[in-house]
């Protein structure tokens, strides 16, 4: 071969090599980045070229699909009772992406998950339309309906858990939104999307208050303080008098820790102190336990870390760098103590389950289009905040909150069921100028059946500055949720 031809051959060979390198770089190294690039619409077009799988509650789909007039997206997603289920499912939109279960399990719902390779292959050879798989939740439709209806017209959230397994039975947040209203790409979808954005809607309907909003837990946190006191030997008998002065002057200050009204809190027994909600008793109790052991107990209940159910939650907080007076305030759910409704449902769940906290979850199983189970969640113990004996003592104290004549939780009584609860009112705003948050944390059981644990918070309403507001606003919602679970188990 003469010299010019050899040079041309080498040059052509280098060009072919460059093309191969570029092709492999694009096809393998940059494949994920290109697939997820906002300007690449092909994955989205493919995603909506066939009906997605469904999210299932009590054996029935709460999502579906509808054909569109779009030249690119053949189907869009729909929801049954969208505002009620949005805090569980999140949204899936052709234009605005997806959140929560719609995002986490998109591979299953769209049929692109690697575990559905066999189904995709069969569809390719048989010529049948590709289908997505199903996400089967742990939710109880009646409990969810009770939670949503009870909260309707208010700002708030509610969570119900099966303490024996950790299954989430209800998860509601209001005000809410309808994911169907902006699932497509039309001008009406855009208008609906803008209407729920925080910049245009001060009520923030897309905020999941059950998982992503932390509140001062108020007196409901006294359950954690009581658990810490029992575990560390500060108290042992729910009916033995405590060494609780009245007024109780917080250490290092001249400031008394006041109670809400003229309550029988001086040297009150733990049972009476919980039933009437004595700030002085539980603030003093928290100081006796000490900030480090209080923090340790709070962490055992799940505080100070995010939870994944599998949706991510905000971390509830018990403050770490505090003095004794701040420990007193933190131990009654004030100062910088904050909790999500899910977190307080976890507290009630551990107490009701004889001290064992099960990891909460709301996806029971993932199913292929042919209904084969490809993944199933197994209940998992998360921690043991209390011994069984101490948990049973705390259960009896919570039951007094509901049953005693002076208890603040009478509105949660259920005929034929054992109910334990704790009311709470959390002050907020500058100089406590805002309406207090009304809380109720509870559990209910019938005979030897598995209990149900519930937490409800109401952000607004005609609340007064005492624990009765928690009993008046939040307890009836919790009662309806617990009744719904009990009746569905019959």
235 Cα distance to chain centroid: 32
How far, in Å, are 258, 268, 325 from residue 285 at the CA level?
14, 12, 12
The active-site residue out of 180, 219, 325, 349 is: 219
∠ CA 322-327-328, rounded to 5°: 150
Active site residue 103: no
Give the Cα separation of 424 and 465 in Å (integer). 10
Question: Considering all CA atoms of the chain, what is the largest pairwise distance in Å, rounded to the nearest integer?
Answer: 109
List the end-to-end C-alpha distance of the chain, in Å, as a whole number: 91
207 Cα distance to chain centroid: 12
Is 275 exposed, middle or buried, given 0-12, 13-18 or 19+ CB atoms closer than 10 A?
A: buried
How far, in Å, are 50, 55, 105, 267 from residue 119 at the CA level?
14, 19, 17, 68
Residues 6+ apart with CB under 8 A from 57: 85, 137, 139, 140, 141, 144
Backbone dihedral angles phi then psi of residue 159, each to the nearest 5 degrees: -135, 140
**DSSP line for 274-317:** HHHT-HHHHHHHHHHH-HHHHHHHHHHTTTTS--BSSSB-PPPB
Residues β-bridged to residue 361? 167
- For the annotated catalytic residues, the residue numbers are 219
């Amino acid at each position: 071969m003469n010299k010019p031809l050899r040079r041309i051959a080498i040059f052509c060979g280098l060009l072919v090599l460059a093309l191969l390198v570029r092709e492999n770089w694009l096809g393998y190294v940059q494949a994920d980045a290109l697939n997820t690039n906002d300007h690449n619409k092909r994955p989205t077009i493919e995603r909506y070229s066939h009906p997605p799988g469904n999210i299932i509650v009590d054996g029935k789909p709460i999502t579906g699909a509808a054909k569109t007039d779009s030249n690119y997206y053949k189907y869009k997603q729909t929801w049954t009772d969208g505002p009620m289920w949005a805090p569980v499912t999140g949204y899936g939109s052709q234009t605005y992406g997806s959140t929560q279960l719609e995002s986490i399990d998109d591979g299953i719902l769209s049929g692109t998950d690697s575990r559905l390779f066999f189904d995709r292959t069969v569809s390719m050879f048989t010529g049948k339309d590709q289908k997505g798989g199903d996400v089967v939740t742990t939710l109880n439709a009646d409990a969810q309906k009770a939670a949503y209806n009870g909260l309707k017209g208010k700002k708030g959230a509610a969570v119900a858990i099966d303490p024996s397994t950790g299954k989430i039975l209800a998860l509601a947040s209001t005000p809410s939104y309808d994911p169907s209203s902006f699932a497509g790409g039309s001008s009406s979808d855009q208008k609906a999307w803008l209407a729920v954005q925080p910049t245009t809607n001060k009520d923030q309907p897309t905020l999941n208050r059950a998982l992503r909003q932390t509140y001062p837990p108020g007196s409901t946190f006294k359950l954690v303080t009581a658990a810490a006191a029992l575990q560390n030997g500060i108290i042992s008998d729910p009916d033995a008098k405590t060494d609780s002065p009245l007024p109780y002057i917080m250490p290092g200050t001249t400031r008394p820790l006041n109670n809400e009204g003229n309550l029988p809190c001086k040297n009150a027994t733990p049972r009476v102190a919980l039933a009437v909600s004595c700030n002085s008793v539980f603030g003093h109790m928290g100081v006796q336990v000490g900030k480090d052991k209080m923090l340790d107990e709070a962490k055992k209940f799940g505080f100070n870390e995010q939870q994944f159910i599998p949706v991510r939650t905000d971390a509830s907080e018990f403050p770490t760098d505090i003095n004794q007076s701040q420990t007193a305030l933190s131990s009654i759910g004030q100062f910088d103590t904050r909790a999500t409704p899910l977190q307080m449902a976890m507290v009630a769940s551990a107490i009701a389950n004889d001290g064992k906290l099960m990891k909460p979850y709301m996806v029971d199983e993932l199913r292929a289009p042919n209904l084969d189970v490809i993944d199933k969640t197994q209940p998992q113990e998360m921690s043991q905040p209390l011994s069984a004996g101490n948990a049973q003592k705390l259960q009896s104290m919570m039951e007094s909150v509901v049953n005693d004549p002076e208890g603040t939780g009478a509105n949660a009584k259920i005929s034929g069921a054992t109910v334990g609860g704790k009311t709470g009112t959390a002050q907020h705003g500058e100089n406590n100028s805002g309406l207090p948050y009304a809380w109720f944390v509870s559990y209910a059981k019938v005979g030897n059946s598995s209990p149900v644990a519930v937490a409800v918070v109401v952000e607004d309403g005609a609340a007064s500055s005492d624990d009765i507001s928690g009993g008046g606003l939040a307890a009836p919602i919790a009662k309806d949720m617990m009744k719904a679970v009990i009746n569905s188990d019959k």
